[in-house]
Structure 1
Amino acid sequence: MNTESIRVPDLGGAAEVEIIEISVKAGDTIEAEDSILVLESDKATMELPSPMAGKIVELTVSVGDKVSEGDVIGSMEAGGAGQADDGEAKDGQSKGEEDSSREAAARSEAEPGTKSGAQSGSGVEPKAEAEPKPGSKAETHTAPVSAESNARHTPAAATPADQEAGSAQVHAGPAVRKLARELGVELHRVIGSGPKNRITKDDLQGYIKQQLQNAQGGAATGGGALPAVKLPDFSQFGDVERSAMSRLQNLTAESMQRSWLNVPHVTQFDEADITDLEDFRKSQKAVGEAKGLKLTPLPFILKACAYALKAQPAFNVSLDMDRREVVQKHYIHIGLAVDTPAGLVVPVIRDVDRKGIWELAREAQELAAKARDKQLKPAEMQGGCFTITSLGGIGGTAFTPIVNTPEVAILGVSRAAMKPVWDGKAFQPRLMLPLSLSYDHRAVNGADAAKFTTLLSRLLGDLREFML
C-alpha cells in the first residue's frame, strides 16, 4: 500500500494552534473523517479528521505542540476495511482486513448513530457526537451512577435531543465523549478542569466517583435519589419552544440544587441605618468623577463584611464533612454575585480587609464589567470566603439567598428605603438598608448570626467604627 503524509488542513486562518489531545496511535486502522487529534485555538476546540481510510504508520507530534495549515503531523497507509488488494481479495479478506472490519464494527457498535464523513469537506470543524440510541449496546454499559442519570433521562425530565444539545456544547475530546456515552454520563453535568473548562478523563472519573458516594450515602441513610419531577406535555395548552440550557445555566442550577439539598439554611434579617453613609458617599461624587469611578454603597458593604469576618471567624470557614474537619481561613476574599445576560457569575475580590474604599470601588467596577463581557478568568471566580448578592438596584424588601458552598454564609442586600425611626423623643426619617444573611447552620449558630448582622448594621451606620 502507498504511504502518504498527513497534513494539517485549512484552520480558518488560525496559526500555531495547540494540540490538546491525540485520538489515535501508530498501528491504528481508521476510517476517513475519524478524528486523529484535537486542536484548541483562542476561539474554538476542533478535531482534525483523517483525510482517508487506512492505517496510521506514525505520528510526529505530541500533546502541547503547535501546528499550522500544511504542517505534516504523521503518515498513514491508504486503504481501510473492505479495500483489499486484488490478490488478497480472491480467497476472501486478509487477516488485516478482518481486524479492520472488527474494529470498524466495534466502533459503530460503541458509537451508534455516527457516520463516516460527519464533517463536511477536508477542513476542521467542531464535532458534536451523537448520544447512544435507546436499546443500543452502549446504553447497556452503564455504571452504577446511572441510577441518578436514568431519572434525569426520563422523557418527562428532558428529551434525548435536549440532552444531546447540552453535551455537544461542552469542551471534551472524542475519547472522553465515548467513555461518557458508555457510562451513561451527560457531559454537561461535569465541571471541566482543563484549559477553557475542557473536560478531562480525570474530571469524568471524579464526577462518577462523587455520584457513587452520593448514591451509597443515600442507601446508608435509607434514602435515595430524589424522584424526578414529571412534566406534562405543555404543547397541549398552547405553543411552546424548547432550547438547550447554556453551560452556565447548567452549572448554576446544579450548584444551587447541591447547596440547597446539602446545607441546612437559615436566614437572619436585619436593617442598617445608612443615612450618614449616604450623605458621605454623595459628598465624594466629585472625587469619584476625578478618579473615573462611581462610588456606590457596595465598597462600604465589602469593607464592613471584611471587618465582621475578622471579628467572627466562624463565618470564614468551610466544612470538610468527609474528614469531619473545620477549615479555618486566614484570608478574606469576598465574592460578588453579578447578573449578566448569560446568567449569574461570582467574581471574587481578594484581600478585602487590606484594601481601601476607592481601591475596592475600582476593582468591583472592573470585575462587574468583565463579567458582563464574558472576560472573567477562572482564577477570578475562585477562592471566595463569603458572598454578597445585591438586589438593591432592582427592588424588594428582603429575600433568602442560597449559600454559595463550600462557603458557609452569604449576605443579601435589598433596596434601601426611608422609614420613620424612633430616636427616644420623636420619629426621624432615616434611610434603612435591608440585610438578609443566609448561613449554614452546621457551622454557624443563630446567636452568632444575629451578632454578625448587628455588627454590620453598626459599621454601616457609623463609618468611624471602621477605624477601631
Structure 2
Amino acid sequence: MQIMTPDIGVDKATVAEILVSVGDTVAVDDSLVLLESDKASVEVPSTAAGVVKSISVALGDEVHEGTVLIELEAEGAAPAAEAPKAEAAPAPQPEASSVEPAPAQQAAPTSASAVVDVQVPDIGVEKATVAEILVKVGDAVAVDDSLVLLESDKASVEVPSTVAGTIEAIEIQAGDSVKEGVVILKVKTAGTAPAAEAPKAEAASASASVKTEAASQAAPVQTGAMEIAVPDLGVDKAAVAEILVAVGDTVEKDQSIVVVESDKATVEVPSTAAGVIKAIHVTLGQNVSEGIALVTIEGQAPAQVAVTAAAEAPKAEVKAQPASAAVQPAAEPVQQQGADKLTKAQNEANAKVYAGPAVRKLARELGVVLSDVKASGAHARVMKEDLKAYVKTRLSAPQSAPAASSAVQSAGLPKLPDFTAFGGTEEKVLTRLQQVSIPQLSLNNFIPQVTQFDLADITELEAWRNDLKGGFKKDGISLTIMAFIIKAVSHLLKEEREFAGHLSDDGKSVLLRNEIHMGIAVATPDGLTVPVLRNPDQKTIKQIAVELGVMGQKARDKKLSPKDLQGANFTISSLGAIGGTAFTPLVNWPQVAILGISPATMQPVWNGQGFEPKLMLPLTLSYDHRVINGADAARFTNKLTKLLSDIRSLLL
C-alpha cells in the first residue's frame, strides 16, 4: 500500500528527513518522513503496519497533499483493516444537522473503560494552527480542561476536553494545520456520562445561535446611529484587550473593532454594520458581557445588533446560557479583580505581545509585563514555560529589584520631543540585557558619587607577568594584568573594609561584610554584565586567572546563572586595551565603591635626577561619599599603587 502526504495545512513542504529505510518494519503511527514548511515541521506517521518496500521521495523534494512518500507491504490484513475503520468513523458527520454535536463529543458505548477521540470542534474558520499542546500522554484531565491552543488569523482558542479521563495518545503536533473533525488526541475514560453532557449544552447553545442568526437576518434594515454590542461570547464576562478603531474611522461590515479576552479565548468582535465610528464606549482592561455597547456607528445595518459569536468564538467553548440573561448596566475595570496585579498601562502593553489566553491570564495573576519575557515560541510567541522561567529568575534576583523599579518611576525623565521636523528618527531596539540594566543604573541618581584618580607604576609587574605567561599558556591559561589587580585589591579590602561594605537602610551605620566577593565587568555583544568572583583573597594568581577565563566565556555564551551575578561587595571595570586615558565608573548599588582600570601607557617619570620610562596604569576609584571620605579614597588608591608597583609586598 502507498503512504501519501496528508493534509498538512500548507500548499507544499520540503522533505527534511527520511526516518526509515527499505526493509524496515514499521507499526501504525510510526514516523516515516519529516516535512518542513515556513510554518512548521511535521512528522508524517504510517497509517498501517508493515515492511517498507520502497521510498518514493528524496531529501529536499517538495511535496504536497496526496504525494506518494512510501510504498508499504502490509504484514497482515488486520492492521490494514483497522485504519479504514478509524477513518470511516467520522464519515456520517456531514449528514448531521447544524445543531448536532460532532461525533467526537457523542457518548461512547457504556463500558468500564473506553478510549474517546477528542476532535477539533467548529471553531468558525476553515482551518487553524496548533499553537500549543497543553497536556501530555498520561495526564489526567477533567471535562472542560483545556487541551490544545489553536490559532487562526482572527482568534486564539483553547479547545476543552469533552470527557474526563487520562490522555492515551496525542495525534497532532505544534504547528499542524487542523480543521473541524480532525482528531486531536485520545482520552481513556472509565465512564461516559460526562461525554454525554457536553453535547447537550453545545446543542442548546448551537440551537440558540441558529435562532439568533435567523432573527438577525429577518430584522428590518435601518439607517442612522446604532450601537454595536458585545455578542454572546460563551462566558459571563471578558476583558477588552485591544481597541482596533478610533472615533472617525470608517469601518466595513464584519471588520474587527475590538479584541476581548477571557480565560479560554481571545476573540476579535466584528462590526455588524458599515459606517463611521461616532463614539467608543469601552476602555482597555474593562470587563464586558453580552449586550454591553462597544461603539456607536453612523451608517446602515440590521436593527438587531446582537451578534452570534459563531464566526469568531469556538462553539466547543460555548456554555448553555439562560434565555433571558440580564444585561449589566456597567462594567468594572479589570484592575478591580483580585487576581489582576497589573496596571491599566501594563495591561495595554500586554495586549500588544503575541501570547495565548492562558499565558495572558497567568501574566495578569502574577503581575508580569509580557514584553519583559523572552519568547521562545514560533513567531516570537510567549509560551507558559517562558513566563515561568522569567518569574523564577525574578524570584531568585536580589531583593533590590522592586526598589529599582520604583526609583526609575520617581526619577523619570520627560518625554522626548518630536524630531519629525529635524529629519526624523530610526528606532534601534536595546538588547534585553541593556533593557534590564536600566533600573539598576538609574539608582546611581541617588548616590552622591565622587571619583578619585591615580597612577600605578606597573613596570616591574608587567615584566614579571611576561616571564610567567609562557608557562601559563602551555596550561591553556591566559594570564592578564587583571588577575594581579584583583589579588591586590582583595588584599587591600581586608584592611579597608568600608570599601566593601554597605550603607544601612536607616543611614546610621555601615554593614561590613565578612567575605569578599568581587564583581568583574565583562563586555558581551548584548551589553555589559557583571559576574562575581568568589573569595579572591583566598585564591592564588593562577586560580584567579583560570576563573576569569571561565567567567568571561560563560558571560559571552549567555550561560551565567542568577547566582553567578549576585552577592558582590566591590566591582572592578577595565577598559583593557580598548583605548582611552581615564573614565568615571558608576557605583553599583548597594555597593559603595568601584575601581576603573584604563589602558597602561609608557610615560616619563622623574626619579629625582632624571626621567625614566615607566609603564603607568590609570586608576579611577568612584565611591559613595556618604560612606567614604575623600581622604579615605586617596589613602586607598595610594596603597593600591604601592601594592601594584611591588607585588612582593603582598607576602609581608
* Fold in common (TM above 0.5): yes
Q: Which amino acid aligns with 1:33?
A: L
Q: Sort the Cα spacing of 1:107 and 1:199 in 2 relative to 1 into closer, same or farther, 3 A.
A: farther
Q: Sort the Cα spacing of 1:269 and 1:211 in 2 relative to 1 into closer, same or farther, 3 A.
A: closer
Structure 1 Cα separation of the partners of residues 502 and 539 of structure 2: 24
| Counterpart position of 1:42 | none
Listed as ranges, the matches of 1:203-218 within 5 Å are 210=403
| Counterpart position of 1:156 | none
| Counterpart position of 1:415 | 599
Structure 2 Cα separation of the partners of residues 16 and 52 of structure 1: 15
Work out whether residues 132 and 148 of structure 2, in 8 Å CA contact, stay in contact via their aligned partners in 1: no
**1:85 CA drift (Å):** 2.8
Of residues 432, 436, 445 in structure 2, which corresponds to 1:247?
Answer: 432
Secondary structure (helix, strand or coil) at the match of 1:349 reads strand
**1:324 CA drift (Å):** 5.4
Listed as ranges, the matches of 1:152-191 within 5 Å are 173-179=359-365, 186-187=369-370
Of residues 87, 93, 107 in structure 1, which corresponds to 2:238?
Answer: 107
**1:247 CA drift (Å):** 2.4
**1:443 CA drift (Å):** 2.2
Listed as ranges, the matches of 1:221-232 within 5 Å are 225-226=410-411, 228-232=413-417
Structure 2 Cα separation of the partners of residues 409 and 415 of structure 1: 20
| Counterpart position of 1:269 | 453
Work out whether residues 190 and 199 of structure 1, in 8 Å CA contact, stay in contact via their aligned partners in 2: no
**1:196 CA drift (Å):** 4.1
Of residues 196, 202, 210 in structure 2, which corresponds to 1:83?
Answer: 202
Q: Sort the Cα spacing of 1:92 and 1:56 in 2 relative to 1 into closer, same or farther, 3 A.
A: farther
Structure 2 Cα separation of the partners of residues 16 and 339 of structure 1: 42
Of residues 536, 540, 549 in structure 2, which corresponds to 1:356?
Answer: 540
Secondary structure (helix, strand or coil) at the match of 1:33 reads strand
Structure 1 Cα separation of the partners of residues 200 and 551 of structure 2: 55
**1:452 CA drift (Å):** 1.2
Deviations 1:221-244 (A, max 9, x none): xxx934533223334433643244
Structure 1 Cα separation of the partners of residues 186 and 400 of structure 2: 37
Deviations 1:159-207 (A, max 9, x none): x88x877x769xx943342247xx7x74556999996433699799x99
Relative contact order (alpha carbons < 8 A, sep ≥ 6): 1 or 2 greater? 1
Q: TM-score, normalised by structure 2?
A: 0.50
Secondary structure (helix, strand or coil) at the match of 2:237 reads helix
| Counterpart position of 1:233 | 418
| Counterpart position of 2:520 | 336
RMSD (Å) for aligned C-alpha atoms: 5.1
Listed as ranges, the matches of 1:1-150 within 5 Å are 2=106, 33=149, 52-53=159-160, 83-85=202-204, 89=208, 104=235, 106-109=237-240, 113=259, 135-138=283-286
Secondary structure (helix, strand or coil) at the match of 2:159 reads coil
**1:57 CA drift (Å):** 5.1
| Counterpart position of 1:46 | none
Deviations 1:400-446 (A, max 9, x none): 11111222111110111111111122121111111111112222222
Structure 2 Cα separation of the partners of residues 210 and 81 of structure 1: 54
Tell me, yes or no, if structure 1 residue 460 matches structure 2 residue 608: no
Structure 1 Cα separation of the partners of residues 632 and 476 of structure 2: 39
Structure 2 Cα separation of the partners of residues 10 and 109 of structure 1: 24
Q: Which amino acid aligns with 2:202?
A: Q
Tell me, yes or no, if structure 1 residue 395 matches structure 2 residue 588: no
Work out whether residues 422 and 428 of structure 1, in 8 Å CA contact, stay in contact via their aligned partners in 2: yes
Structure 2 Cα separation of the partners of residues 417 and 294 of structure 1: 21
Q: Which amino acid aligns with 1:398?
A: A
Which structure shows the higher strand fraction? 2
Work out whether residues 265 and 403 of structure 1, in 8 Å CA contact, stay in contact via their aligned partners in 2: yes
| Counterpart position of 2:297 | none
Q: Which amino acid aligns with 1:177?
A: A
Structure 1 Cα separation of the partners of residues 238 and 369 of structure 2: 20
Work out whether residues 483 and 541 of structure 2, in 8 Å CA contact, stay in contact via their aligned partners in 1: yes
Q: Which amino acid aligns with 1:283?
A: D
Work out whether residues 190 and 203 of structure 1, in 8 Å CA contact, stay in contact via their aligned partners in 2: no
Secondary structure (helix, strand or coil) at the match of 1:284 reads helix
Of residues 471, 492, 496 in structure 2, which corresponds to 1:287?
Answer: 471
Q: Sort the Cα spacing of 1:102 and 1:87 in 2 relative to 1 into closer, same or farther, 3 A.
A: closer
Alignment gaps of 5+ in structure 2: 1-104, 108-115, 120-128, 168-172, 175-183, 213-230, 243-257, 268-280, 288-332, 337-341, 375-384
Structure 1 Cα separation of the partners of residues 507 and 386 of structure 2: 24
Of residues 454, 462, 485 in structure 2, which corresponds to 1:278?
Answer: 462
**1:29 CA drift (Å):** 7.7
**1:273 CA drift (Å):** 0.6
Structure 2 Cα separation of the partners of residues 360 and 346 of structure 1: 16
Give the percent of matched residue pairs that are identical in Structure 1 and Structure 2.
34
Deviations 1:98-125 (A, max 9, x none): xx96773523436773678779xxxxxx
Tell me how many residue pairs correspond in the alignment: 395
Structure 1 Cα separation of the partners of residues 387 and 589 of structure 2: 22
Structure 1 Cα separation of the partners of residues 259 and 639 of structure 2: 62
**1:350 CA drift (Å):** 0.7
Structure 2 Cα separation of the partners of residues 359 and 200 of structure 1: 29
Tell me, yes or no, if structure 1 residue 377 matches structure 2 residue 561: yes
**1:295 CA drift (Å):** 1.2
Structure 2 Cα separation of the partners of residues 424 and 71 of structure 1: 89
Of residues 442, 461, 474 in structure 2, which corresponds to 1:257?
Answer: 442
Q: Which amino acid aligns with 2:578?
A: I
**1:322 CA drift (Å):** 5.3
Rg: which structure is higher?
2
Q: Sort the Cα spacing of 1:225 and 1:424 in 2 relative to 1 into closer, same or farther, 3 A.
A: same
Q: Sort the Cα spacing of 1:203 and 1:88 in 2 relative to 1 into closer, same or farther, 3 A.
A: farther
| Counterpart position of 1:438 | 622
Structure 2 Cα separation of the partners of residues 414 and 334 of structure 1: 18
